[in-house]
Chains A and B, each alone.
Chain A
């Protein structure tokens, strides 16, 4: 049960005032079509992940708009939304569509254009991915909700802010080397500690920026890719989704672990591998604390120890498992609906061996992407494998 990754494409991840929502979608979509070597008319279904075009861009029906401008007509097209897990959900639906046998070739595209509005307006739109009317009425924000989780994590496992700062250092090390990343600078633990406070204990270098970007994948039936041996043989070998808690107030550390652990176990089973087999991982980290939580949820570390890899090197490029060699959301930014698709594209690049030299894990064969959404609501796991012959 495999899904072929026929093509991938992505736009730079940054503030792009000169490009519209549709410009971004067309750019990544065409790149993926070209990479796949197919025409728009070959696409039988289009899944467009987009979270907030109604708020950010005052336009709706994003799926239909992208279909028109990309020329993917008359294939069916739909917009997919599941908070920050949107891109991963679009990918899931694309995979399920192939696995169902109904389609041979589909496109998954994530896109978000966030920087047409002032930050305070954008923040209000992002807050709608949580219960902005009932829970966030209290003055909570997305960052402050996650800050509460960070404080809980630090208290439970007796950790300092410096301990957690290593995660940002690692991400920025690689982000600085990623030509597609939004924030391209390296930083030290001291610089993370000195960066502006956002919501105690979260600091600026532990928070992702608002970014304009799009990423796309062309997926196909296993045989179609198998029959083109000159193309890189990368397959999605598992796709599993879960829903956790929608409220920061009731979200425990156990909930945060379970959000990834439960679908990840199902995914490992689906692919017939274990966490030990994974070479590269893209783990959602719009806030730095989510990376160690994700590492623990995926089974790469015991609860409370997920932060250590960034400090001791075991989650760096030649560690046991290389995590967020793209720089993660902390550096790439978090174009909400695109993020899950970008994670997939970045892992596929790793398995193809086409990542930029300083970011390429040697001989990567097995990759995982883990995307989350809402305060603790979406857990989305995908496994990818390079399978020659």
Chain B
């Protein structure tokens, strides 16, 4: 993916804070739904911050990364069902592929998302295994 700084500065993928889009009927959509609710079609959506905790509901391990992730392979990327109910795609870092499974509790953390082969840095939310949740014996 190549984006300009102008483009990235617009509302788009989460940068310093993780958010989702809430429609006026209460449905929560991933951040890319700015124009209509995927569930009910409402065209009124507002940005809502997420608490940052959730559960890995599906995942894969990428061995051939896109340009922006070169050097990090193999890495885990998957669908995370946030505690608010919305499902978003995100990488899970700091964990060996064998140590995650569907249902693993994860929490958001700030990482460099795009390493900027043009020299730009973009931050966004990646996820780490939520050790605290595991220790408390919450479902995982």
Chains A, B in direct contact (C-beta < 8 Å): yes
Q: What is the distance, in angstroms, from A332's C-beta to the closest C-beta of chain B?
A: 21
Q: Which of A121, A133, A155 has the most CB of B within 10 A?
A: A133
Residues in chain B near residue A144, CB distance under 8 A: 60, 62, 77
CB <8 Å contact, A248 and B66: no
User: Within A115-145, which residues are at the interface with B (CB < 8 Å)?
Assistant: 119-121, 123-124, 127, 131-141, 143-144
CB <8 Å contact, B67 and A124: yes
CB <8 Å contact, B114 and A141: no
CB <8 Å contact, B62 and A199: yes
Query: How does the 8 Å CB contact mask read for B68-100 relative to A, with 1 for contact and 0 for none?
Result: 111010110111000000011111000001000
CB <8 Å contact, B32 and A138: no
CB <8 Å contact, A147 and B60: yes
Q: What is the distance, in angstroms, from A315's C-beta to the closest C-beta of chain B?
A: 26
Tell me if B's interface is mostly helix, strand, loop or mixed. Answer: mixed
CB <8 Å contact, B89 and A133: no
Nearest residue, chain A, Cβ from B124:
A137
* Tally of chain A residues near chain B (CB < 8 A): 35
User: Within A266-293, which residues are at the interface with B (CB < 8 Å)?
Assistant: none
CB <8 Å contact, A139 and B75: yes
Distance A134 CA – B97 CA, assembled complex (angstroms): 24
Residues in chain B near residue A123, CB distance under 8 A: 64, 66
Distance A132 CA – B124 CA, assembled complex (angstroms): 15
Residues in chain A near residue B97, CB distance under 8 A: 200
Q: What is the distance, in angstroms, from B95's C-beta to the closest C-beta of chain A?
A: 14
Smallest CB-CB A-B distances: 7 pairs: A147-B60, A134-B32, A138-B89, A137-B13, A200-B61, A139-B91, A139-B77
Chain B residues with a Cβ under 8 A of chain A? 1-3, 7, 12-13, 30-32, 38, 58-70, 72, 74-75, 77-79, 87-91, 97, 102, 113-114, 124
With A124-B66, A137-B113, A151-B60 given, can you name 12 additional A-B contacts, CB distance below 8 Å? A120-B67, A127-B1, A133-B12, A139-B66, A139-B69, A143-B62, A148-B59, A199-B64, A247-B30, A247-B32, A249-B79, A249-B89
Chain A residues with a Cβ under 8 A of chain B? 119-121, 123-124, 127, 131-141, 143-144, 147-148, 151-152, 155, 196-202, 247-250
